[in-house]
Copies of this chain bind each other. A is one copy, B any other.
Amino acid sequence: MLNFEFYNPTRIIFGENTIARLDELVPAQAKVLVVYGGNSAKAFGTIGEVTKALGQRKYVEFGGVEANPDYLTLLKAVDAIKEHELDYILAVGGGSVIDGVKFIAAASQFAGEDKWAILEGAPISQALPFGVVLTIPATGSEMNSGAVISYRERGLKRSFASPLVFPKFSILDPSKTLTLPERQTMNGVVDSFVHIVEQYATKQTGAAVTDEFAEGLLRVLLQVGPELKANPNSVQARSDLMWAATNALNGLLRLGEVGDWSVHAIGHQLTALYGIDHARTLAIVLPGVWQYKLEAKQAKLAQMARKVFGLEGDDERELALATIAKTEEFFHSLGVGTRLSDYDLDVQAVVAVVANLEKIGATALGEDKDIDLVASTKILTSRL
């Protein structure tokens, strides 16, 4: 097992009817920016519940944070914080809203004029405190310290991380996810699945506990995905998905393991350029990366075949290939396409994505840092 460090101070409040607890979780004197995405948070009454729970506290609403939150939108929220002299933020939504709030929390306290510098690695020395009311289980952002921000005007999508942007608390009420469209629910299953395997399906490091946790979460997703496709009203399955998605990216699964993350790096460009849902970009790229790195990943993919898909056999290569096939099958069963052509993209997209990877210096990806631009081209070409 590799040495590791783990620290995660986010308080989780999990269960139905927990939004009212905001009154004890948000400091009594806080002046709050309530950030949300589209109209559904308002239409389904969640924003009303949240502002009611805030009681006498001063608050300002900021809606309209888009999927893959845009830098320019978030700058307006930073302005709102200054204008209204706010000192606390509440994110009400999924990963896009939470990631956006992490950036707002940091940017509002960032001395430099150019806030995009944060996405280019400029150090953060402070951030506003914030809490989360989660409505989409998918990204795990509710219990980690990372965020991904898009800059559409420049065709960019970059990430940053800092212990200063752990949520103070996250309220996870699975009943709030009952109104999600099927597409978003299934995206959440795929996103969580890929978060797990980006940490798990790399090298054998002998981290037995972490492997067990990863395999257990994958089995849960294999079960709740089809369950929710058949019966979206199951609060039980919604609960399991919600807690699985959080654990998929709260730091537990990287402990003692070597991460890959090439699938995300390549997938981000497909979102930046063509606006494809994040989860769907991962479903496209993942089988290509696994196929390209078959030899290096063979032992772990074979372990996954046995422990996650319940397959038997002695041929490690055959088992690894079966994992790739079974994974694609699983994504298809959720209605998620796994090829560029499923999204009306052709070889032009390969060229454009690789050009973007070059632009941001993503030329040595994966657990062995051997996915260069040529390899990315091969991987994407295999996904036409």
Contact = CB atoms under 8 A, between A and B. Distances in A.
28 contacts: A1-B14, A1-B239, A1-B240, A1-B243, A2-B15, A3-B15, A3-B16, A3-B18, A4-B12, A4-B15, A6-B14, A7-B9, A7-B10, A8-B8, A8-B9, A14-B255, A206-B240, A207-B243, A208-B220, A208-B240, A208-B244, A209-B216, A209-B217, A209-B220, A212-B217, A213-B213, A216-B216, A243-B256
List 3 tightest A-B contacts by C-beta distance, closest first: A3-B15, A212-B216, A9-B9
Contacts of A56: none
Given A1-B239, A217-B209, A236-B206, A11 B6 contact: yes
Interface string A1-36: 111111111111111101000000000000000000
A5 B14 contact: yes
Contacts of A219: 212
Nearest to A6: B12
Contacts of A216: 209, 212-213, 215-216
A281 interface: no
A188 to B, nearest CB: 14
A8 to B, nearest CB: 7
Contacts of A10: 7
A122 B150 CA distance: 52
A365 to B, nearest CB: 26
A223 interface: yes
